[in-house]
């Protein structure tokens, strides 16, 4: 009887295992790891209500007065370099002069036969002009121009390096303040939740104290703990609002975060 029972149960167990494995197979999913970072950033924006970090950085760099000054300084250095590179053309040129007016012409002649002097005077209105091309060859100008051009190139490179350095510092500052704001918002949410629980607990203690269940010392202790929790919440709220306003002032727009009061 037992061998017969085993033979009957074997197909049932086999079918059950096969069906179970077949049912679990469709639940296996392969997630592309390249999308994890984008999903995490999207979830963070939804959770904290912040604009993307790149948007904040681009806005800060666009509005910052020092960045704009550096851009203008670079353009000035570029213009200076072009001027130095074209300075040699000042050694070549065309010069023109004009004269207009009434001219008195007086001439004399000697007659060797009659030994007489003849004089002739004429008055005429004339317009005189002359045009010429000139070339100058300063002896030391070639060496001096090369040095001036080199100095202009170095000044341009210096201005670019300084601008890049200040942009990097500003970008790092924004990144730090951005994540600091996220941290302060997290802490504020934790403090708000703790404060809510403390107030509920305080209400229960007040009722128990009114009914004579809780002692005075216990009531004072719970009241003191609730006061400290509320104080910590107000400090955390102030730190969060200051960090938010500072970053908004740099970016030039409001983040429109959710109300956490």
Delimit the domains of the chain by residue range. Answer: 39-251
Is the pLDDT at 233 greater than 90? The verdict is yes
Residue 131 has a pLDDT of 75
Portion of the chain with pLDDT greater than 90, in percent: 39
Q: What is d(CA 170, CA 126) in angstroms, rounded to the nearest whole number?
A: 71
Residue 214 has a pLDDT of 84
Whose tokens are 């017969």? That residue is 4
Residue 113 has a pLDDT of 57
Confidence of residue 248 (pLDDT cuts 50, 70, 90): very high
Supply angle C-alpha 90, 94, 99, rounded to 5: 130
Q: What is d(CA 211, CA 10) in angstroms, rounded to the nearest whole number?
A: 68
* SS3 (DSSP) at 7: helix
Pairs from 171-175 (Cβ < 8 Å, separation ≥ 24): 171/57, 171/61, 174/53, 174/56, 174/57, 174/60, 174/247, 174/250, 175/53, 175/57
Confidence of residue 6 (pLDDT cuts 50, 70, 90): very low
**Residues 247-261, mean pLDDT to the nearest whole number:** 75
Residue 209 has a pLDDT of 86
Q: What is d(CA 219, CA 139) in angstroms, rounded to the nearest whole number?
A: 98
Portion of the chain with pLDDT greater than 70, in percent: 66
- Across the chain, mean pLDDT equals 75
Supply angle C-alpha 141, 147, 151, rounded to 5: 140
Whole-Å CA distances, 93 to 129, 131, 137, 255: 17, 11, 12, 61
Residue 259 has a pLDDT of 44
Count how many Cα atoms sit within 13 Å of the Cα of residue 134 in the half-sphere of its side chain. Answer: 12
Confidence of residue 108 (pLDDT cuts 50, 70, 90): low
Residue 134 has a pLDDT of 66
Q: How far apart are the first and last CA of the chain?
A: 75
pLDDT digits (tens, 9 = 90+) for 34-66: 333 343 344 445 456 788 999 999 999 999 999
Phi, psi of 128 (to 5 degrees): -110, 145
Distance of CA 15 to the CA centre of its chain: 64
Residue 238 has a pLDDT of 95
Distance of CA 197 to the CA centre of its chain: 42
| CATH superfamily membership of 39-251 | Outer membrane efflux proteins (OEP) (1.20.1600.10)
**Residues 235-244, mean pLDDT to the nearest whole number:** 94
Residue 40 has a pLDDT of 39
Q: Is 28 or 154 the better-scoring residue by pLDDT?
A: 154
pLDDT digits (tens, 9 = 90+) for 109-123: 665 555 556 666 676
pLDDT digits (tens, 9 = 90+) for 70-107: 999 999 989 888 887 777 677 777 777 777 767 666 66
Residue 93 has a pLDDT of 72
């Amino acid at each position: 009887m037992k061998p017969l029972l085993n033979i009957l149960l074997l197909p049932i167990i086999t079918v059950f295992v096969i069906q179970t494995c077949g049912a679990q197979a469709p639940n296996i999913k392969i997630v592309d790891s390249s999308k994890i970072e984008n999903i995490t950033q999207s979830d963070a924006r939804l959770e904290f209500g912040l604009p993307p970090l790149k948007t904040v950085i681009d806005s800060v760099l666009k509005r910052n007065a020092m960045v704009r000054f550096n851009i203008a300084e670079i353009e000035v250095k570029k213009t200076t370099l072009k001027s130095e590179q074209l300075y040699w053309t000042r050694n070549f040129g065309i010069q023109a002069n004009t004269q207009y007016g009434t001219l008195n012409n007086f001439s004399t002649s000697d007659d060797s036969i009659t030994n007489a002097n003849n004089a002739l005077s004429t008055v005429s209105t004339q317009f005189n002009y002359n045009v010429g091309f000139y070339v100058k060859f300063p002896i030391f100008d070639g060496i001096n121009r090369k040095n001036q051009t080199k100095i202009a190139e170095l000044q341009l490179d210096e201005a670019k390096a300084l601008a890049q350095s200040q942009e990097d510092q500003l970008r790092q500052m924004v990144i730090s303040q951005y994540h600091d704001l996220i941290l302060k918002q997290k802490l504020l949410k934790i403090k708000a939740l703790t404060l809510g629980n403390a107030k509920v607990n305080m209400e229960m203690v007040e009722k128990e104290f009114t009914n004579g269940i809780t002692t005075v010392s216990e009531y004072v202790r719970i009241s003191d703990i609730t006061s400290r929790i509320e104080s910590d919440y107000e400090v955390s709220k102030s730190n969060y609002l200051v960090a938010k306003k500072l970053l908004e002032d740099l970016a030039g727009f409001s983040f429109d975060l959710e109300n956490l009061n």
